Amino acid sequence: TRTTVGIVGGGPAGLMLSHLLALSGIDSVVVDHRTRREIETTVRAGILEADSVRLLVDSGVSDRVHREGHAHGGIALRFGGTSHRVDFKALVGESAWLYPQTDVFIDLADARTRDAGDVRFGIRDTRVVDLTGPRPGILFTDADGVPQEIRCDYLVGADGSRSTCRQEVPEARRRHYFREYPFAWFGILAEAAPSAPELVYTHSERGFALISQRTETLQRMYFQCNPDEDVDQWSEDRIWAELQSRVAGPDGFTLNEGTITDKAVLRFRSFVAEPMRHGRLLLAGDAAHTVPPTGAKGLNLALADVRVLAELLERAVRENDDGALDRYSPRALDRVWRAQHFSYWMTTMLHTLPGATAFDVRRQLGELASVVGSTAGSTYLAEGYTGWPA
Ligand code: DHB
């Protein structure tokens, strides 16, 4: 097969790029070793920045986010047992949207099918070759076991945090920046009514907890745990007792409980691969960077990458000049590092470090008080959370 842009990875980044390129009349092929069903059944984060929502709606992917998503005009920061609302609408005039990443994927996959896009799920043995030559290639075995070869002008690695495309950039030409955290998140889905109208980010002596939502009957919650925590050691009763104790306070806030239908431990890491381009290979989304989940920046950053990349690829193809692509890495990395800082900041402000002293905890409470008590402090949070302009 010949195509203009070969895309490894059929998650939201790869599919959105393929969709945006199609709108500009540029053909692409997307491959992914996962089946569509595997991607659809993995529980992911649920918050979209205002511009991510606009990108979905304005590019004609779907307006389902408007009908089924929920605009949140703020969040609560809860500490010392009291909730403090950060009012995004009043501070920056924007909302964040509660709409699961899984639904973003479904909308994009449906849009590619509707527009007769070439997307191949369930393939195996992917290899990328000739990245610095004029015709890079993707070699793989298709879902029927037949060897296939795609030759393209540009090759995009949108193959997630365990990217193999990223490994193709020679060590001498790349730098990897990495940070681990001594904790993780225990995430659950529970069949229960919502406990709060918006998200509640909670600092407590027992560690962080996040109360999020999905629907009127399904809720998403997380609590800080050890990275090697075994989900099987956690009965429903034990999970609810832990969550209730973390959100408890003099205002009597309690969570509505229900059957837990999903339990998983989420890794916490910060990672950036620079540059995001090598020859005709371009990296996008988690393949180039990972953020810890606090603040839900991962999907939003991936969509911001491909918005820039689609624009520059269009210019490169139309003008038959790779020069436009020189701007990709610096432009994308500017946002990536701001998001790295934001995610790190939200994380370290709200989580309890093992071995934290009384001073450390008091300082965090001082930081939280200065965020919610100051227009300057809470405006930074509101800007970062709802998303910086393109
Ligand atoms: C969700 C996940 C996040 O990481 C976050 O910061 C907010 C919400 C969620 O899954 O709902």
Q: Do 282 and 323 belong to one domain?
A: yes
46 lines ligand 1 (CB under 6 A): yes
**220 in ligand 1 pocket by Cβ < 6 Å?**
yes
- Residue 268, classified by CB atoms within 10 Å of its CB into exposed (0-12), middle (13-18) or buried (19+), is buried
CA distance 375 to 388: 17
Query: Tens digit of pLDDT for each residue in 238-268?
Result: 999 999 999 999 999 999 999 999 999 999 9
pLDDT at position 390, please? 85
User: What pLDDT score does 321 carry?
Assistant: 86
Whether the ipTM is more than 0.95: the answer is yes
Residue of minimum CA distance from atom 5 in ligand 1:
296
Cβ of 6 less than 6 Å from ligand 1: no
pLDDT at 43: 87
Identify whether residues 326 and 232 lie together within a single domain.
no
Within a domain: 341:
yes
Cis peptide, bond prior to residue 147, ω within 30 of zero: no
Residue 217 and residue 118 share a domain? no
Ligand 1 pocket check for 293: Cβ under 6 Å:
yes
Domain match, 120 and 108 both: yes
Domain co-membership, 273 together with 157: yes
Tally of domains in the chain: 2
Same domain, 140 and 251: no
pTM (whole model) above 0.90 = yes
pLDDT, position 332: 98
Q: Which residues are catalytic?
A: 72, 201, 293, 297, 385
Residue type present at position 316? A
Residues 120 and 167 both lie in one domain: yes
Q: What are the residue ranges in the chain where pLDDT is below 50?
A: none
Give buried/exposed letters for 179-189 (b at 16+ CB in 10 A, else e): eebebbbbbbb
Q: Could you tell me if 280 and 263 lie in one domain?
A: no
Domain housing 263: 184-268+353-386
Which residue is closest in CA terms to ligand 1's atom 7? 296
Same domain, 189 and 326: no
Residue 267 exposure: Cα atoms within 13 Å on the Cβ side: 10
**Inside any domain, residue 56:** no
For residue range 33-72, list pLDDT tens digits in order.
Answer: 999 999 999 889 989 999 999 999 999 999 999 999 999 9
- As a whole number of angstroms, the distance between CA 17 and CA 258 comes to 39
CATH for 206 = 3.30.9.10
Is residue 128 domain-shared with residue 19, that is, in the same domain? yes
Locate the ligand 1 atom nearest the alpha carbon of residue 293 and give its number.
4
110 and 37 in one domain? yes
